[in-house]
């Protein structure tokens, strides 16, 4: 199978001092020839901050405080990403390694009808489902860089790209460049996993104030009640002021559901008995007890593993995040925005680790993938994605 994948490698860096605070500059070189790499993309992941290298491979731009992920990419090279704790007085010397897989790959002809079907699946899980706001105003401008594979035996769907995806969100007025690292949908387990690096280009830069405000009206709709809004409010202890209500979700094992190992054992046993009752590929008479037993264990498998109870009392911010701005709660919480109103958003968040997760003032959460979201937040995909450096415009004062 042809896979022109992006690879993440640790960058070779050397540091020197003498720069002003919160400024990044450096040079991008070919690791083999030591020659400068012109027109490479250098940007901070999931922001509008970044630039391209000059013909002599150099770059410089201002940043906010760290930590953040710096991404460097160029056609024909492996994409590199690494963490920077603080941008103060740092100059980078980055060496890109040629992507030999891309150079040596043989192109495989794809079935166009299957490609269109798989493309629709990809858009549904990545850009947004039909009910996602603004999904109809998002367009992938270079869809043919995408490739897909559907393993019907394991029911795993996978996507990868030859180069960065260029997505235009006409509603939020962003051009989005996405370096797709990992994209899989596990239909049998009803979950998906994806990893990507994102650079935003604000289409309203340099536009009249009225155009910026029209775009920001839709951006505010995407922002308020989002994960980004919640984590910023949590950091600044403004959950109430931001109209968030948080309650704890308690889960108890379902006493009517047998252990999963016992369910699996019996499903395997009775399915094997049914398969053994075949002759030349044709099913013969199967006893009623066997079928009844199989139906019973299927019914047990469909039972919920847990019963849940939502605690009525609201959780204050200091029960979720400590004085060091680290999320420490364990288990699952229910997050409501504008509770009781028509515009209410409802999501639950499960922390799948016992370690503390640092939060930055901009709403970025270290190891945020360890906070698993469902309901509304799970449906918030690329169509409503905002950069980490987004700030709502102040409301226009009425005269």
The pLDDT tens digits for 336-364 are: 999 988 888 889 898 888 899 999 899 98
In this structure, are 49 and 96 located in the same domain? yes
User: End of a domain among 55, 80, 104?
Assistant: 104
Q: What does the pLDDT read at residue 72?
A: 95
Q: What does the pLDDT read at residue 89?
A: 64
Structure token digits, residue 377: 């937040």
User: Does residue 78 form part of some domain?
Assistant: yes
Contacts of 266 (CB under 8 A, 6+ apart): 293, 297
Structure token digits, residue 41: 């993309």
Q: What does the pLDDT read at residue 340?
A: 86
CB 29 within 8 A of CB 370: no
Q: What does the pLDDT read at residue 5?
A: 39
CA angle 183, 190, 297 (to 5 degrees): 150
In this structure, are 53 and 129 located in the same domain? no
Phi first, then psi: what are they for 45, rounded to 5°?
-55, 135
In this structure, are 150 and 97 located in the same domain? no
Burial class (CB in 10 A: 0-12, 13-18, 19+), 253: exposed
In this structure, how many other beta carbons lie within 10 angstroms of the beta carbon of residue 39? 12
In this structure, are 132 and 95 located in the same domain? no
In this structure, are 41 and 120 located in the same domain? no
User: Does residue 135 form part of some domain?
Assistant: yes
In this structure, are 123 and 197 located in the same domain? yes
Q: How far is CA 223 from the centre of its chain?
A: 16
User: Does residue 5 form part of some domain?
Assistant: no
Q: How far is CA 166 from the centre of its chain?
A: 16
In this structure, are 122 and 199 located in the same domain? yes
Q: What does the pLDDT read at residue 185?
A: 92
SS3 259: coil
In this structure, are 164 and 68 located in the same domain? no
User: End of a domain among 165, 191, 223?
Assistant: 223
Regions of the chain where pLDDT drops below 70:
1-21, 86-90, 101-112, 277-287, 396-399
Total structural domains within the chain? 2
Pairing of strands 357-358, 326-327: antiparallel
User: Does residue 15 form part of some domain?
Assistant: no
User: Does residue 397 form part of some domain?
Assistant: no
In this structure, are 210 and 127 located in the same domain? yes
Q: What does the pLDDT read at residue 63?
A: 85
Q: Residue 197 pairs with which residues in a beta bridge?
A: 179
User: Does residue 379 form part of some domain?
Assistant: no
Range of the domain at 30: 23-104
Pairing of strands 23-30, 90-96: parallel
User: Does residue 218 form part of some domain?
Assistant: yes
CATH number where 56 lies: 2.60.40.1120
In this structure, are 84 and 163 located in the same domain? no
Burial class (CB in 10 A: 0-12, 13-18, 19+), 126: buried
In this structure, how many other beta carbons lie within 10 angstroms of the beta carbon of residue 179? 22
In this structure, are 87 and 123 located in the same domain? no
Contacts of 108 (CB under 8 A, 6+ apart): 1, 2
Between helix 288-302 and helix 260-276 the angle, nearest 10°, is: 150
User: End of a domain among 75, 104, 133?
Assistant: 104
User: Does residue 278 form part of some domain?
Assistant: no
Burial class (CB in 10 A: 0-12, 13-18, 19+), 231: buried
Does residue 67 have a cis peptide bond before it, meaning omega lies within 30 degrees of 0? yes
In this structure, are 72 and 157 located in the same domain? no
């Amino acid at each position: 199978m042809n896979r022109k994948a992006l690879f993440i490698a640790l960058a070779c860096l050397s540091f020197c001092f003498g720069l002003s605070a919160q400024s990044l500059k450096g040079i991008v070189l070919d690791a083999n020839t030591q020659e400068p790499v012109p027109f490479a993309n250098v940007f901070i992941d999931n922001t509008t901050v970044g630039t391209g290298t000059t013909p002599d491979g150099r770059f410089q731009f201002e940043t906010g405080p760290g930590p953040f992920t710096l991404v460097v990419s160029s056609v024909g090279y492996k994409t590199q990403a690494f963490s920077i704790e603080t941008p103060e007085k740092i100059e980078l010397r980055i060496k890109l390694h040629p992507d030999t897989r891309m150079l040596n790959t043989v192109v495989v002809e794809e079935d166009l009808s299957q490609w269109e079907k798989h493309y629709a699946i990809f858009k549904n899980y990545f850009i947004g489902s039909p009910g996602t706001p603004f999904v109809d105003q998002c367009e992938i401008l270079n869809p043919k860089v995408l490739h897909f594979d559907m393993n019907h035996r394991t029911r795993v769907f996978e996507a990868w790209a030859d180069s960065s995806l260029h997505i235009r969100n006409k509603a939020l007025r962003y051009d989005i460049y996405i370096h797709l690292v990992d994209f899989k949908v596990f239909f049998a387990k009803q979950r998906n996993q994806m990893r990507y690096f994102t650079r935003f280009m604000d289409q309203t830069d340099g536009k009249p104030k009225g155009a910026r405000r029209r775009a920001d009206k839709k951006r505010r709709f995407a922002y308020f009640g989002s994960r980004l809004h919640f984590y910023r409010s949590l950091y600044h202890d403004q959950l109430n002021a931001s109209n968030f209500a948080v309650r704890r979700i308690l889960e108890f094992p379902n006493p009517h559901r047998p252990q999963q190992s016992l369910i699996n054992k019996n499903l395997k046993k009775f399915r094997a008995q049914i398969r053994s009752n075949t002759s030349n590929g044709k099913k013969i008479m199967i006893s009623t007890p066997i079928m009844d037993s199989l139906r019973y264990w299927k019914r047990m498998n469909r039972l919920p593993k847990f019963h849940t109870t939502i605690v009525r009392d609201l959780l204050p911010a200091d029960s979720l995040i400590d004085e060091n701005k680290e999320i420490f709660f364990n288990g699952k919480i229910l997050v409501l925005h504008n509770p009781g109103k028509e515009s209410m958003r409802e999501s639950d968040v499960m922390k799948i680790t016992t370690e503390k997760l640092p939060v930055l003032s901009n709403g970025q959460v270290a190891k945020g993938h360890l906070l698993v979201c469902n309901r509304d937040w799970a449906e918030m995909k690329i169509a409503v994605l905002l950069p980490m450096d987004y700030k709502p415009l102040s409301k226009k004062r009425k005269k």
